[in-house]
Amino acid sequence: MPKATILVVDDEPLIRWSLTERLKSEGYDLLEAGTGGAALEKLTEGPDLVLLDYRLPDTDGVTILRKIKEFDQDILVILLTAYASVDTAVEAMKLGAYHFANKPFNLDEVAATVERALETTRLRREIRQFRSNAARPYSLQRIVGASAAITSLRHMVARVAVSPASTVLLTGESGTGKDLVAKVIHYASDRSGKPFMNITCSALPEQLLESELFGHERGAFTDARTQKKGLLESADGGTVFLDEIGEMAPGLQAKLLRFLEEKSFKRLGGSVDIRVDVRVIAATNRNLDEEVKSHRFRSDLFFRLNVLPIVLPALRSHAEDIPLLVEYFIDAFNSEFRKRVLGATPAAYSLLQSYGWPGNVRELRNVIERAMLLSDGERLDGRDFSAMTKAMSAGNDFELPATGVDLEQLERSLLVQALRRSNGNQTRAGTLLGLNRDQIRYRIEKFGLTPVP
Ligand SMILES: Nc1ncnc2c1ncn2[C@@H]1O[C@H](COP(=O)(O)OP(=O)(O)OP(=O)(O)O)[C@@H](O)[C@H]1O
Ligand SMILES: [Mg+2]
């Protein structure tokens, strides 16, 4: 914590001197003033606390106290006086004086009061900062972008947040902002004062996930030594975010569906119906439609979840937002790394906009983070992204084998591989090959690959 600055205001040089010396020895920075006017001038030097004599040659302490508080509500004031009447003391306290010390004072006591006062403001500031940080990171404005796609996403998120909808489905490739949007929905809703709880369905084996979600009674299974509340119960009134819902085991999918329809459930091994009011936001980067067709995901659960689908666009489909996102991340890393990068050069922006971003906004964020760590220029330029350009051109160094190739066959094989790797998603397959959707469609038809393998 930086050293606090204290302003001592008294017309008696000896009193100023004794207070200043004592407080310097405690490690504070000190300012001095002999009159009320001089004290007000010193406010621009940013004192955290003022020790203020009540009797001043040009005015009285209460007037100065009022002016100090007008200047900055957070500056602490301790009034020192030999002639306090109860009325002045009451008035000073009403005006926000922290303390009233009688003259002659004991230096130890003054030092202790100063320390206590600074400690309370530090706590007060921390709490205020904590509160505003806790609320602000997930405002709608956290979803950065001015493209039509992101603008309509923000509208949708705002509407869904305040709607009575009890389920929401977020789909989109990895790194498109599903986690972010889930939190924005929660904090923009009237559930924001209640818990936001999140669980990744792929992270736990089925039984554990089930007991995490629904809780269990004592003895429900071997390790269940005590009764435990599940996430749905703990989040009552709030939001539960089920990430990677596509990975949920079929048995559990059925139980989740039952809960979504009945709003109540039983703990594992329990017989009592527990009713809760939670909004379930589910997310997946799989194509649930296809998962349903191939019987890996229950169609009834899919239909229930899909009442309010929000599709997060891949970054390459709104590349015009890249400069805004880059500026946003530069700002964020400037404060995190204590740097003063001003932006990126036009060349850097066009480089960043020409890349396909298979890892979407997360990949962009990582690329900017790396560039910010390594760069020491005022603006990020092309050279700061050399790792990325290398990766981009790596594929271009394909070497023709001595035996030659059958170009048509090679093209077909690469196309099949790209489609397989992107689960048949044509846009994503296109990115892998540096082709747009039309170009990829054309080739799919040319090689007679429809329907997609
Ligand atoms: N539109 C956006 N504006 C600002 N930041 C964004 C945006 N979209 C994503 N981000 C940021 O990108 C990173 C990745 O986003 P997030 O974790 O929400 O992706 P995800 O869709 O949940 O990915 P995954 O499927 O891999 O879990 C986060 O740091 C997130 O804050
Ligand atoms: Mg995620």
**Whole-number pLDDT of residue 128:** 59
> Which residue CA neighbors atom 16 of ligand 1 most closely?
177
Q: How far is the CA of 366 from the centre of ligand 1 (A)?
A: 11
What's the whole-model pTM score? 0.64
Q: Where are the alpha helices (DSSP H) in 228-267?
A: 231-234, 250-262
> Which residue CA neighbors atom 26 of ligand 1 most closely?
174
**3-class DSSP state of 171:** strand
Average pLDDT estimate for 62-66: 91
- Tell how far CA 316 is from the center of its chain: 23
**E strand or H helix that includes residue 188:** none
**Whole-number pLDDT of residue 388:** 76
* Residue of 403 and 232 predicted with greater confidence: 232
Residue-wise pLDDT for 418-428, tens only, equals 888 777 888 77
Average pLDDT estimate for 270-279: 94
3-state helix, strand, coil in the chain (%, to 5): 55, 15, 30
Q: Where are the alpha helices (DSSP H) in 147-228?
A: 148-162, 178-187, 206-214
Q: How far is the CA of 329 from the centre of ligand 1 (A)?
A: 12
Dist. CA 191–CA 325, nearest whole Å: 28
For residue 116, the tally of other CB atoms under 10 A from its CB is 11
**3-class DSSP state of 102:** strand
Instruction: Report the candidate in 432, 185, 434, 175 with the shortest Cα–Cα distance to residue 325.
Output: 175
The average confidence (pLDDT) of the chain is 88
**Whole-number pLDDT of residue 452:** 47
Cβ 152 vs Cβ 145: under 8 Å: no
Dist. CA 105–CA 114, nearest whole Å: 13
Ligand at minimal distance from the CA of 325 is 1
Ligand at minimal distance from the CA of 180 is 1
pLDDT of 389 above 60: yes
Sequence letter at residue 419? L
Exposed, middle or buried by CB within 10 Å (0-12, 13-18, 19+), for 120? exposed
Residue-wise pLDDT for 2-40, tens only, equals 688 999 999 999 999 999 999 999 999 999 999 999 999
Confidence of residue 127 (pLDDT cuts 50, 70, 90): low
Which residue matches tokens 């996430």?
Answer: 231
Residue-wise pLDDT for 279-320, tens only, equals 999 999 999 999 999 999 999 999 999 988 999 999 999 999
Residue-wise pLDDT for 166-192, tens only, equals 999 999 999 999 999 999 999 999 999
> Which residue CA neighbors atom 29 of ligand 1 most closely?
362
> Which residue CA neighbors atom 23 of ligand 1 most closely?
175
Q: Which residue of 171, 361, 369 sits with most ligand 1 atoms within 8 Å of its CB, as the best mutation to test the pocket?
A: 361
**Whole-number pLDDT of residue 105:** 80
pLDDT of 125 above 70: no
Q: How far is the CA of 196 from the centre of ligand 2 (A)?
A: 15
Ligand 1 atom with the smallest distance to the CA of 181 is 18
**Whole-number pLDDT of residue 375:** 86
Confidence of residue 450 (pLDDT cuts 50, 70, 90): low
DSSP-assigned letter for residue 55? B
Q: Is the CB of 238 under 6 A from ligand 1?
A: no
Dist. CA 235–CA 237, nearest whole Å: 6
Residue-wise pLDDT for 133-148, tens only, equals 555 578 899 999 999 9
Q: What angle do CA 181, 141, 234 make, to 5 degrees?
A: 40
